Structure 1
Amino acid sequence: MDTAVTANTAFELAPGHARLRDAARSAAAEFGSRATEVRRHLIDHSRMHPELWALFCANGWAGLGLEPDRAGGDGGLLGMAIVLEAFAEQGIVLWMPVLSTAIARAIETVGPQAAAETWTPRVASGATHVGMAATEPHAGHNIFAVETEIRRDGDTFIVNGLKRITSGLDVADRVLVFGRADRRDLGAGYTTVLLDPRAPGVTTTEIPMRFREGVRQFQLEFDCVTVPADALVGSEGRGLATMWPFTHAERALTAAVCTGTAQYSLGRAIAHAGNRTISGTTPIGAEQAISHPLAALHARLTAARMVVYRTAARIDSGIDGDTAASDSNIAKLLAADVAFDAADHAVQVLGATAWDDRDGMIDIYLDARLSRSGPVSNEFTLNHIAHHVLGLPAHAG
């Protein structure tokens, strides 16, 4: 293959990925007018919208980012980012594929082989969704401070602790739980297991968060929950090795959803500003108070999208973990900020229309706001950039 690039192609999607983007945008447009219906279906029925998900899976998109297509071609993490962005551009946030893809990639990376052979095909076919249980009430995103214990007991593991917030447990077949290998020995490291959220000893409590990102949110309590040894992901005591590939993919895909959301908001605002008149015959888009923020947001979105695509492509190429962490944090930060700012200005431009619950814009606005706080807060991304990219000192202790 000729790897030479020209000035005209260096920053363009490869032909295969460009065709994928066009196909995804065409498919997503079929459901654009039904975005509220798609969102409500998962909330009301605890499963993906059947027509949309059937189309998604028929195109092979549920398996994007997973072996064997990670080796290149038209897929990879970049392919999944492109598809999720295309649906978000229609106001359709597909959060469960973000989690499932990121977790399946982590299982592929750290093993064991049996777990990868069991769960990756199920995720790739669209038959299975997987959730993540890492954050805790007192620790938030600081996973180093988790207190949940996943301790070996002969041929099983015993899980005790509390997790909050966990998305989509009513949809997920399994949840990846991150905890300490032994609370009595802080040097024992961390362990990750795939756990059935409906297993004996698990108490699930829904947290009323108004279905952010179109999914229900939950608290999980584990009271001496027994899981078999083959539920282990990665190696006992080395659970951090599971979390890093997961977070890199999750943040890159979250960023892609954010750029799609920003595009949706901009599109709504531009259309309204180009037609709405208050006095006279000139649309409000002629006013610089309306147009200049839209122009600035378009410029920021263009730059953020390039960073997101670059991040996903570089992860696909096998960059080292430190670089992947830096890239994915930067992409998530830029994309989350432009998503919220675009949604905020769209609400201002749309006026009362935006506040009509039937319109769906308020859900977009609140989802965009959430992206600045989760699945990792912007403050944590800035901490990473400051300490690990810029080399600035961190607080001791």
Structure 2
Amino acid sequence: MTGAMTFNEPPERVDLRAAVSAFARDYGSAYYRAKAREGAYLTELWREAGALGYLGVNLPEEYGGGGGGIGDLAAVLEEFSAAGCPTLMMVVSPAICGTVLSRFGTPGQRGRWLPGLAAGETIMAFAITEPDAGSNSHRITTTARRDGDGWVLNGRKTFISGVDVADAVLVVGRVRDEDTGGLSAALFVVPTDTPGFEKHRIEMDLVSPDHQYQLFFDDVRLPADALVGDPEAGLLQLFAGLNPERIMAASLAVGSARHALDRAVAYARERTVWRDTPIGAHQGLAHPLAQVKIELEQARLMTQHAAFRYDSGDDAGAGEAANMAKYAAAEACVRAIDQAVQTLGGNGLASEYGLGSAIASARLARIAPVSREMVLNYVAQQSLGLPKSY
């Protein structure tokens, strides 16, 4: 043997998890739910987490980050979620936008945006989904045309998270190749105060501090340096951000599942109905909770594996692993929260325990940022080599 395989996280990440867990518990699920009901953002948590360096652990040190990888940022989000604070904008701002800018931004773009993202003083949203495109990025109709030294952007986006707290949006559009006439994907940084940029909130049944928006770009004029990277490598740059998105979404789901399981187990240990035996002694509850634990640990390992492959520079392998992790974590999260509610009975829907509002959020994990059906399509075609179905 030339070396031993290990599934242990490095000591630095173990220490990071412990510190983040203690920090997030000081806020906890009661803080998160109160903010969600008010329609307010997690401003205090976000600012303090940024000041402590937790939001930028994956960003380059020269721009105020921790110099780590997506695995480190995913660990932070998992611990936030396990403490009852599933902070969605961590998936978007430091993970997607921070990664894309770190890898493909010019020195000027990195200097302008990354320090703020790392410190939590700047928030960036990400806009790819369109009303008529859905999961098909090839049908995106938001386009940018050259205008002198700059660009003019037109189009619309939907279900874009956190635009109300964002300073800018990283927009996926298309530009026309002047030689071939073809359209290629391109990414633009659009400050939210740019003339012609409009946002309309989408009313949702979800109780969440992260709100959803429709965006409209009507002859939005952008400077030359709004373009990130090279349009010729648009899809490569796009997926450099989407793989971290899936890994982070998986981490959020894993943490949320941990939170629900912890609540259910604590209740099952103490609650007595028949004589003096806690309900957790009965196999009708004990076995489903044990199954949740097994599925949760499987999803957690897959998520850590995906992060390891991405941070190792294996973009192709990370794509497969990230999709599998997102699928497994979403399924584990839905099952965990459903079983937690079932374990608590009527209390599972009482506001005191905070599980009822998590049902819809868990269900969303099967849909966003990529649906379970599209993950299955990916695995069928890319992993199994089956013919494309669409």
TM over 0.5: yes
State yes or no: 1:84 paired with 2:85. Answer: no
Other structure's SS at 2:369 match? coil
Give the partner amino acid of 2:61. P
- Percent identity between matched residues is 36
Out of 88, 99, 103, the residue aligned to residue 95 of structure 1 is: 88
Which moves more between the two structures, 381-390 or 33-42?
33-42
Contact 2:58–2:67 (CA under 8 A) maintained in structure 1: no
The CA distance in 2 between the partners of 1:5 and 1:77, in whole Å, is 24
State yes or no: 1:178 paired with 2:167. Answer: no
1:155 is matched with 149
Q: For residues 5 and 259 of structure 1, do their structure 2 counterparts lie closer, same or farther at Cα, with a shift above 3 Å needed? A: farther
Other structure's SS at 1:63 match? coil
State yes or no: 1:253 paired with 2:248. Answer: yes
Give the partner amino acid of 1:279. W
Out of 106, 111, 129, the residue aligned to residue 135 of structure 1 is: 129
How far is 1:342 from its partner?
0.4
Residues 337-392 of structure 1: CA deviation (Å, up to 9, x unaligned): 10111011111112222223454212222111101100111111111111111111
Out of 313, 333, 339, the residue aligned to residue 345 of structure 1 is: 339
How far is 1:213 from its partner?
5.0
Other structure's SS at 2:146 match? strand
Q: For residues 235 and 74 of structure 1, do their structure 2 counterparts lie closer, same or farther at Cα, with a shift above 3 Å needed? A: closer
The CA distance in 2 between the partners of 1:92 and 1:322, in whole Å, is 31
Give ranges in structure 1 of 5+ residues lacking alignment.
none
1:371 is matched with 365
Which moves more between the two structures, 383-392 or 111-120?
111-120
How far is 1:15 from its partner?
1.0
The CA distance in 2 between the partners of 1:75 and 1:316, in whole Å, is 9
How far is 1:239 from its partner?
2.5
1:24 is matched with 20
Contact 1:17–1:74 (CA under 8 A) maintained in structure 2: no
Residues 128-172 of structure 1: CA deviation (Å, up to 9, x unaligned): 111011001121121111111122222121111111010000011
2:30 is matched with 34
How far is 1:310 from its partner?
1.8
State yes or no: 1:295 paired with 2:290. Answer: yes
The CA distance in 1 between the partners of 2:37 and 2:73, in whole Å, is 22
Contact 1:93–1:214 (CA under 8 A) maintained in structure 2: no
Q: For residues 192 and 54 of structure 1, do their structure 2 counterparts lie closer, same or farther at Cα, with a shift above 3 Å needed? A: closer
Contact 1:162–1:219 (CA under 8 A) maintained in structure 2: yes
The CA distance in 1 between the partners of 2:66 and 2:4, in whole Å, is 20
2:112 is matched with 118
* Aligned residues: CA RMSD: 2.4
TM-score by length of 2: 0.92
TM-score by length of 1: 0.91
The CA distance in 1 between the partners of 2:51 and 2:208, in whole Å, is 24
Give ranges in structure 2 of 5+ residues lacking alignment.
none
Out of 327, 342, 345, the residue aligned to residue 333 of structure 1 is: 327
1:205 is matched with 200
Contact 2:53–2:66 (CA under 8 A) maintained in structure 1: no
1:226 is matched with 221
Q: For residues 38 and 354 of structure 1, do their structure 2 counterparts lie closer, same or farther at Cα, with a shift above 3 Å needed? A: same
How far is 1:49 from its partner?
2.8
The CA distance in 1 between the partners of 2:220 and 2:12, in whole Å, is 46
